[in-house]
Chains A and B, each alone.
Chain A
Amino acid sequence: MDSYLVVKSILMLVALSAAFSVFFIRVRRLFRLMRSVQGKLPFTLDRVKERLMVLLTDVVGQSNVRRKALPGVAHTLILFGFLAVQPHSLELMLKGVCPAFDPAKWIPAVYGGYLFVADILAALVLVGFAYAIYRRVVERPKYLTLGTDANLIILFTCGIIVTFQFINAFQALLPVHGAAFDYRGAFPVSGLWIGLLGLGRLGAGQIAAGYEIAYWLHMAIILGFLVYIPGSKHLHLLAAAPNVFLKPLQREKAMPKTDIENESAVTFGLGKVSELNWKNVLNLYACTECGRCEEQCPAAQTGKPLSPKNVIHDFKLDLLAQADAILAQKSDAVEPIVREASPITADVIWSCTTCRACEDICPVNIEQLDFILETRKHQVLMQASFPPEMQATFTNLENQANPWGFSADTRADWSKGMNVPLMCDHPEAEILYFVGCAGAFDDRGKKIAQSMARVLQRAGVDFAILGPEEACNGDMARRAGNEYLAQMLIKQNVEVLNQYKPKKILTGCPHCFNIIKNEYPQFGAAYPVVHHSELLHSLFRQGRLKSVQWMKGVGGNGPAVEAMAFHDSCYLGRWNGIYDAPRDLLRAAGSGIRLTELRRHGEKGFCCGAGGGRMFMEEAIGKRINIERAEEVIASGAAMVAAACPFCATMLSDGLRDCQSAVSVKDIAEIVDEATA
Chain B
Amino acid sequence: MATIGIWIETEGGKVKETNFGVITAARGGSGENTLLALLLDGSAEAAKEALAPYGVHKIVPLRAEGADLDQSPDARARTLAAAVEKLSLNALLGLATTPGRDLFARLAAYLKLPLASDCVAVDVARQTVCKSHFSGKTVATIQMKAPVMLCALRPNAVEAQQSPTSPEIAPLTVTVQDPARVRVLEVKKAPGGKIDLAEANIIITGGRPIGSAENYKILEACAQALGAAVGASRAAVDAGFAPHSMQVGQTGKTVSPKLYIGCGLSGSVQHFAGMKTSKVIVAINIDKDAPIFEKCDYGIIGDLFEVVPMLTEALK
To the question of whether A and B form a pair in one complex, the answer is: yes
Q: What are the interface flags for B238-267 relative to A under an 8 Å C-beta threshold, 1 for contact and 0 otherwise?
A: 110000100000111010000000000001
Whole-angstrom CA separation of A624 from B252 in the bound complex = 18
- Candidates B137, B267, B268; contact of A399 at CB < 8 Å: B137
Q: Which of A622-674 contact B (CB under 8 A)?
A: 624, 650, 654, 657-658
Which one of B12-20, B33-41, B269-277 is at the A interface? B269-277
Q: How far is the CA of A396 from the CA of B137 in the complex (A)?
A: 11
Known A444-B269, A618-B251; contact A406-B135, beta-carbon cutoff 8 A: no
A441 to B239, Cβ gap below 8 A? Answer: no
Q: In the complex, what distance in Å separates the CA atom of A618 from the CA atom of B270?
A: 12
In the assembled complex, B226 has its CB within 8 A of some CB on chain A = no
The size of the chain B interface, using a CB distance under 8 A, is 22
Q: A81 at the A/B interface (Cβ < 8 Å)? A: no
Chain A residue nearest to B277 (CB atoms) is A405
State whether the Cβ of A617 lies closer than 8 Å to any Cβ in chain B: yes
Chain A residues within an 8 Å CB radius of B269: 404, 438, 441-445
Give residues 111-148 of B contacting A (CB, 8 Å). 134-135, 137
Option from A443, A657, A658 in Cβ contact (under 8 Å) with B291: A443
Q: Which of B5-36 contact A (CB under 8 A)?
A: none
Q: Which residue of B lies closest to A388 (CB)?
A: B251
- Per the 8 Å Cβ criterion, residues 431-484 of A in contact with B are 438, 441-445
Q: B135 is contacted by which of A389, A399, A443 (Cβ under 8 Å)? A: A399
Does residue B280 face the partner (Cβ distance < 8 Å to A)? Answer: no
On chain A, the residues within 8 Å of B300 by CB distance are none
A residues near B291, Cβ cutoff 8 Å:
443-444
In the complex, the answer to whether A616 meets B135 with C-beta atoms within 8 Å is no
> In the complex, are the beta carbons of B251 and A658 less than 8 A apart?
no
Complex partner residue of B267 from A405, A443, A624, A658, CB under 8 angstroms:
A443
A404 with B252, Cβ < 8 A, contacts A399-B137, A658-B239 known: no
Q: Does B235 contact A (CB under 8 A)?
A: yes
In the docked arrangement, what's the CA distance between A404 and B244, Å? 19
B residues near A404, Cβ cutoff 8 Å:
250, 269-270, 272-273, 276
Q: Which residues of B contact A396 (CB under 8 A)?
A: 135, 273
Chain A 376-406 interface 0/1 with B at a Cβ cutoff of 8 Å (1 = within): 0000000000000100110110011001111
A451 CA to B135 CA, complexed, in Å? 32
Q: Which residues of A contact B250 (CB under 8 A)?
A: 389, 392-393, 403-404, 616
Q: Give chain A nearest CB distance to B107 CB in angstroms.
A: 28
A658 adjacent to B244 (CB under 8 Å):
no
Given contacts A405-B273, A443-B267, A616-B251, contact A400 B135 (CB under 8 A): yes
- Alpha-carbon separation in the docked complex, A650 to B267 (Å): 12
Tell me, yes or no, whether B313 is within 8 Å of chain A by CB: no
In the complex the two chains form, is B244's CB within 8 Å of A618's CB? yes
Q: Which residues of B contact A442 (CB under 8 A)?
A: 268-269
Asked if B294 CB lies within 8 Å of chain A CBs, one says yes
Smallest Cβ-Cβ distance to A398: which chain B residue: B134
Do the beta carbons of B267 and A654 come within 8 Å of each other?
A: no
Interface centre among B267, B269, B274, B291 (most CB of A within 10 A): B269
Binding site for A on B (CB under 8 A): 134-135, 137, 208, 235, 238-239, 244, 250-252, 254, 267-270, 272-274, 276, 291, 294
Beyond known contacts A399-B135, A403-B273: 8 more, CB 8 A cutoff: A399-B137, A405-B276, A442-B269, A444-B269, A444-B291, A624-B238, A657-B235, A658-B235
**Which 10 A-B pairs have CB atoms at the shortest separation, nearest pair first?**
A404-B273, A389-B251, A442-B269, A443-B291, A399-B135, A399-B134, A618-B251, A404-B269, A405-B273, A405-B135
